[in-house]
Copies of this chain bind each other. A is one copy, B any other.
């Protein structure tokens, strides 16, 4: 691989001049400029990102820290960020924390010496991101927090409107005539879980509905959790006629529990998930869900990070994306309910903005 010195010799100019034309950091006379560009072209010269990074105290690297790429919600986030990074000449380095705070810290430490321009983080459980990224911010890296926020986060962030999303699903069920609404939430130390629960409660309250405490089940964001808590809910008397699952994995587990209990969805019980993953299309029945664009989440975060690289002292931005209620086959009016308001099982996908 050629270096600047060789380009300089080839073009018959000095090394500094080469740098100037490459970075457009000084006006260079056209003939020289041309010779340099020509030399670059023929040699296929590319500047060393390492040397440049060392010199500039910053590399064209965007680091992304997520819980686990195996969780089907995250690939979209990563892809969104990578697309924006790539089209701006940045590379994406990916780190999985498994929601382990210790691993998060290790990644944060290890990444620092690569001097990434930006850092996009989905904080792990009990993350103390604010403190842990202090050194990054001091070093001039843009830190963007997404999906959920750690305590006291005062930097840039991108989240979705969790409360409104959950509320829209809840209202929809209520509109269908449901009065016995249960909710299975994710871990309530996570802000997104909290907000979804808030939305659920708000919608219930607005409809004058009382939600008994045992209709509110907290669990992990996975199938096993949804399965276990749905089993509990299904044994209650009165049995809930509808369940809001706070993500699609929980909904999947709930669906299994419903089937195992000999019940039918949506005839006996309605179910709405959250996230709108692709796999909601391939279940039987197709799962209704509060859709959010994981891709846009990642893309927006990357853009935010790059923006801040450009202009350091811009005011902090907190972007909140919208959700979209996607009704498929897993919801219907409650069984034998005299108060039924809406029609029976919707068969086609309908979109309802939230």
Is B93 a contact of A91 with CB atoms below 8 Å?
yes
Q: Of B79, B92, B283, which contacts A283 at CB under 8 A?
A: B283
Among residues of B, the one whose C-beta sits closest to the C-beta of A223 is: B282
Give the size of the chain A interface in residues (CB under 8 angstroms).
47
Among residues of B, the one whose C-beta sits closest to the C-beta of A139 is: B1
Is A47 a contact of B113 with CB atoms below 8 Å?
yes
Q: Of B76, B91, B110, which contacts A114 at CB under 8 A?
A: B91
Is A135 an interface residue, CB under 8 A from the partner?
Answer: yes
Instruction: Among A54, A74, A109, find the residue whose CB has the most chain B CB atoms closer than 10 A.
Output: A54
Is B59 a contact of A68 with CB atoms below 8 Å?
no
How many subunits of this chain does the assembly comprise?
Answer: 2
Is A46 a contact of B282 with CB atoms below 8 Å?
no
Is B59 a contact of A70 with CB atoms below 8 Å?
no
Interface string of A189-224 (1 = CB under 8 A from B): 000000000000000000000000000000000000
Is A313 an interface residue, CB under 8 A from the partner?
Answer: no
Instruction: Among A70, A74, A139, find the residue whose CB has the most chain B CB atoms closer than 10 A.
Output: A70
Is A4 an interface residue, CB under 8 A from the partner?
Answer: no
Is B113 a contact of A94 with CB atoms below 8 Å?
no
Q: A74 — which chain B residues lie within 8 A by C-beta? A: 75
Chain A interfacial positions (CB closer than 8 Å to B): 1, 46-51, 53-54, 59, 61, 68-70, 72, 74-76, 78-79, 82-83, 86, 89, 91-96, 107, 109-115, 135, 139, 252, 255, 278-279, 282-284
**Leading 6 A-B pairs by shortest Cβ distance:** A284-B284, A50-B54, A69-B75, A49-B113, A93-B93, A50-B53
